[in-house]
Amino acid sequence: MAENIVLGLFIVLPGLMAGLLLLLRLQLKRRAAPTRWHHVLLANLLALGFLVTLAALAGEIYFRFIYDSTDSLLYTKVSQRWMQRYWHENRNAFRDNEVYYRELLPGRRRISFVGDSFTAGHGIKNEEDRFVNILRRAHPDWDIYILAKLGYDTGDELNLLDYLLKSHWQIDQVVLVYCLNDISDLMPERLEAFRRLNTQIEQSSWLVKNSYLVNTVAHRINLRRNPFMRGYYDMVLEGYRGPLWEKQKQRLLAFRDLVESHGGRLAVVTFPFMQDLGPNYKYQFVHDQLDEFWRAAHVPHLDLLAVYRPYPPAKLTVNRLDAHPNEYAHALATPVIDAFLEKQLSVKSLSR
């Protein structure tokens, strides 16, 4: 109801400005005296008001009815509407159109992808365009499960897997889909920054909460002014240079041990920061550290940086405000992940 009131206001205002401008013109025509400067000023202000309110109406219509995409955090009204349209979960509470079973099915390999929004397909309208679904179509003899949630970091993924295994969930080949910011839940400033951002959203004005245009503009301005958001990626970068990296390594080893203690085998696929790809990609040393770590831990590791390096970020990301991989990026990764998995499953079959 409130949204409809806002839309009505956006529709009425240009008409009101045009009506006042027409009324002023008629009054000036009836006057015998010459037009004074304040009449000209008022006419110009009304004309400007008409143009501004008309542009605002166009913006409201665009963001309310036409624009249909996400931002990285899903805080805007447009993003929330996108979620309502395209995000559907199965009875296991994961974004998928198939039901998952606890027990392994006889004669079938099970590949469980554990991850976050990159795996779940943030910004991907059709879930069939995710790399996991493309793999499923290519291998109907595999049971491919997507154990992924938006906003998950390594701590969440470890807790999720532990919960599932304690619920008698059976595993075979587990693939941890790693993103460089999976270390960020170890940063206390992250939790406080998101708490403040959520409080700010809750305390937003009536117009911000009910206008798609004002909501979108206000959110973008807030993100640019937010010091944590501006420095987020640099903070993640520093996390791999200090004691947080040592804590992260212990959690990753715990994830490996949890998989292996329940009869599974772990492999890892690492995504780069898509928005920063280019000749001056500053996270190269993080990829090198991860590769060295997984090698020492005897865990097969596929780094997708080499796959994406030749492409500009705009070709790979959902949009300029959403740095998640788009459909093209998922399609690029699929054959490489496919070959990687074929090798891992072959090795495990030989070891049985």
49 and 97 housed in the same domain: no
122 with 87: CB under 8 angstroms?
A: no
285 and 337 housed in the same domain: yes
The two tokens of residue 109 are 């390999």
Query: Which residues span the domain enclosing 6?
Result: 2-66
Q: How far is CA 65 from CA 68, 205, 213, in A?
A: 8, 22, 11
Q: How far is CA 41 from CA 23, 50, 313, in A?
A: 15, 14, 48
44 and 88 housed in the same domain: no
| Total number of domains constituting the chain | 2
189 with 232: CB under 8 angstroms?
A: no
156 and 269 housed in the same domain: yes
The two tokens of residue 274 are 């898509």
Q: Residue 62: how many CA atoms within 13 Å on its side-chain side?
A: 11
CATH code: domain of residue 278:
3.40.50.1110
Query: One digit per residue, pLDDT tens: the chain, 352 residues?
Result: 889 999 999 999 999 988 988 887 888 777 766 667 777 788 889 889 899 999 999 999 999 999 999 998 888 999 999 999 999 999 999 999 999 999 999 989 999 999 999 999 999 999 999 999 999 999 999 999 999 999 999 999 999 999 999 999 999 999 999 999 999 999 887 777 778 877 878 888 999 999 999 999 998 888 787 766 777 888 899 999 989 999 999 999 999 999 999 999 999 999 999 999 999 999 999 999 999 999 999 999 999 999 999 999 999 999 999 999 999 999 999 999 999 999 998 865 544 4
At a CB cut-off of 8 Å and minimum separation 6, what does 173 contact? 109, 110, 111, 112, 264, 265, 267, 341, 344, 345, 348
60 and 85 housed in the same domain: no
The pLDDT score that the predictor gives to residue 352 is 45
- Classify residue 180: in a domain, yes or no: yes
126 and 236 housed in the same domain: yes
The pLDDT score that the predictor gives to residue 350 is 41
158 and 111 housed in the same domain: yes
- Classify residue 290: in a domain, yes or no: yes
The two tokens of residue 97 are 């159109």
24 with 46: CB under 8 angstroms?
A: yes
238 and 320 housed in the same domain: yes
